[in-house]
Amino acid sequence: MTKRRVVVALGGNAILSKDASAQAQQEALRKTAKYLVQFVKQGDELVISHGNGPQVGNLLLQQAAGSTDTNPAMPIDTAVAMTQGSIGYWLQNAMREELTKAGLNKSVATVVTQVEVSETDHAFSDPSKPIGPFYSKEVAEQQHVEHPNYKYVEDAGRGYRRVVPSPKPVNVVEADVVEKLVDGGVIPVSVGGGGVPVVRVNDRLEGREAVIDKDFASEKLAEQIHADMLIILTAVDHVFVNFNTPQQKSLTNVTVPELKQYIQEGQFAKGSMLPKVQAAIDFVENTKHGKTVITSLENIGDFLARGEGTVINQIPENIMNK
């Protein structure tokens, strides 16, 4: 089998469910690592990215609760870097354990990654990225009273969450470092939580109060390190159209023009599947032969064995393979 360079973007359910303790998140990542090692077993060059929405939101709440004049809370960009470090620490150890069990001599390293965004991105005036835990409407209103600068919105029927600006990534600053690690046989953990949002001011990079969508950041990284495939993991095995209706249909092999038509029809929810689909399209359009897969963590084995999942190409796969 031809060796592929694969960027795998982990969804939040691969790290955190309802228990936000360090022990529970470490255990979740041990289970996640068992799936990810399958790529290494078949000879793929693996790069791992991950979200941090619940973690960075929880950290900001913890900081706000204990903030004083002499020990103030850190800004969001620094909190993103902090959670990159903590999740990366857990994940690289979980991967090392599974690699050792599989008899694979591979190193894993976390790169604290900065992602450049535009100072003029409209997202800074229109916060939309959910972070932190879900609240009832009543609790969200009380949180807003306690933190009047925070904005809360209803998130996909699951409750209310705080939202912050989510600018689009322009450049992964440490992409060259990640590529050198992959070339050297190392498995990097990179663009955690979408990367630390920075803007370029003359020769200086300055952090901004924002959280970048991890799927868009993973797509940008996959482009810059010349990946063959971007795999976006979520809670379902396939992308669906007419979701939760009698006409619901799973998408298997689908083209970019087809997905764009579905977007125009409003088939994908803004807070959940839409950014994944948009990131999938970006990678396919911005690379010569790249493909994107959207599926679940639990479906990785079936994808590797039989191609199960939603596979996105520029043209139909049966034509591409002729």
Residues serving a catalytic function are: 12-13, 129, 214, 276
Q: Single out the residue of 11, 130, 122, 137 nearest to residue 60, CA to CA.
A: 130
Helix intervals (H) in 114-195: 137-146, 175-183
| Burial (CB count within 10 angstroms: exposed 0-12, middle 13-18, buried 19+), residue 36 | buried
- Alpha carbons 270 and 272: distance in angstroms, whole number: 6
Q: Could you tell me how far CA 168 lies from the centroid of its own chain?
A: 13
State phi, psi for 171 to the nearest 5 degrees.
-160, 135
User: How far is residue 314's CA from residue 312's CA, in Å, rounded to a whole number?
Assistant: 7
What's the angle, vertex CA 50, arms to CA 12 and CA 188, rounded to 5? 155
Phi and psi dihedrals of 222, rounded to 5? -60, -40
User: Which DSSP string corresponds to 58-70?
Assistant: HHHHHHHHH--SS
